[in-house]
Structure 1
Amino acid sequence: MKAFQVLFVLCLNAAAAEGQSFHPGSCPRPSVQEGFNVTKYMGTWFEIEKLPAAFERGKCNQATYTLLADGTVNVRNAELLSNGKINSIEGVAKVKNASQPAILGVSFFKGVPDAPYWVLSTDYQSYAVVYSCSDYFGLLHIDFAWILARTRALAEDVTSQLRAELAAAAGVNLSRLTVTKQTGCDVMTRGMVSKTKTGEQV
């Protein structure tokens, strides 16, 4: 039991050090998009705002989703680092239950459990609100949230509405949301196009 308590404290400290949004108790269970159409959701989405995420260190963050023949989704996340290099990673997303297509699991590494990916709402053409939450020992949960758009900018009134939705649906503390810088991103477009054409790692 003592070892368990030590591990729990270490998790708390690690989360705090990385600025993650952590809370006591289990994850909330927000409502998700009804009648979610994964095919219409495919394509590139740009990050407008987010809860802190240790795995995101740059700017110009974007995600490109491609539907595969087996029904899974190829996920390619990319960001521009301070040294001017593009950092990207690819993974696979799967619908966990056919009756709830807006709830997916995303995996980037073999042997590592899927990360939850809940599409709370989207109009497919301009915005999407995504939430993710993981429980630890039933005593702690760490959550992530993203406001996404099909372009690198989103009208302030729309963003405000989506922020309110996150707060109402998942209890997200809006003061912890950070704005993603989406300027000076031309190299991202050139770099990702080059990767697609050549098949080389950016």
Structure 2
Amino acid sequence: MKLLTSVIVVLLLTSCVRVPDGVQPVRGFEAEKYLGKWYEIARLDHSFEAGLSQVTAEYSRRDDGGLRVINRGYSEEDQAWSEAEGRAYFVDSSDVGYLKVSFFGPFYGAYVVFGLDQNGYEYAFVSGPDTSYLWLLARAPEVSETVMAEFLDRTRTLGFDTDALIYVDHKKQSAGGKTTP
């Protein structure tokens, strides 16, 4: 019985770090270029980000060789910032955009960079372990129409539900409720 339980636990934990069918992590990935602040442009919504605007992710090096991830977003409902710190490690080699990330204890999920501006690292297409997880990240709060069209075409072809995408608002609200850039 202990063996069966152990096998089930291992299968559940490893299924969360798999790559979705058809998705290929980028090769030639350079973690040093990926470090820094990214703006979330679009996402498929999940409870851990529900209702958040002005969402960013900041990546830095950890002493143990992994990456530190700070995700931050603003909740209009709570009138407060929400922040979560996680850690990420490469699943294969460090030149492949395939990582496992954890925000809670020993539980990891896949973080698959499958599209990337490999010259300037200005945008990235990221998935989780299946097609219900999807993000478009960029170094600036907006992307060009060309990048957006490429993202939508590619992700639709891979089976992601692009009609369900949430487009993240990065405009700050002033005290009077007016939107400011």
Partner of 1:21: none
What TM-score, normalized to structure 1? 0.69
Aligned runs of 1:81-96 on 2, under 5 Å? 81-82=75-76, 83-96=78-91
The question of whether the paired residues in 2 share the 8 Å contact of 1:80 and 1:185 is answered with: no
Q: How does 1:103-142 map to 2 (within 5 A)?
A: 103-111=98-106, 113-123=107-117, 124-133=120-129
Q: How does 1:1-202 map to 2 (within 5 A)?
A: 27-57=20-50, 58-82=52-76, 83-98=78-93, 101-111=96-106, 113-123=107-117, 124-133=120-129, 143-168=132-157, 170-184=158-172
Consecutive unaligned residues of structure 2, counting only runs of 5 or more, are 1-18, 175-181
* CA distance 1:99–1:60, shift in 2 (3 Å): closer
8 Å CA contact 2:20–2:128 kept in 1: the answer is no
Q: Any idea what the Cα deviations from partners look like across 1:6-52, whole Å, max 9, x if unmatched?
A: xxxxxxxxxxxxxxxxxxxx942411212111111111110111112
User: Taking structure 1 as reference, are residues 99 and 150 closer, same or farther at Cα in structure 2, changes over 3 Å only?
Assistant: closer
Give how far 1:159 is off: 0.8
Structure 2 SS opposite 1:114: strand
Output the aligned Cα RMSD.
2.2
Query: Which structure 1 residue ranges, 5 or more long, are not aligned?
Result: 1-25, 135-141, 187-202
Counting aligned pairs with the same residue, the percent is 26
Superposed structure 1 runs of 4+ greater than 3 Å apart: none
Query: Residues 72-92 of structure 1: CA distance to partner in whole angstroms, max 9, x if unpaired?
Result: 000000001113311001010
How many pairs are equivalent? 153
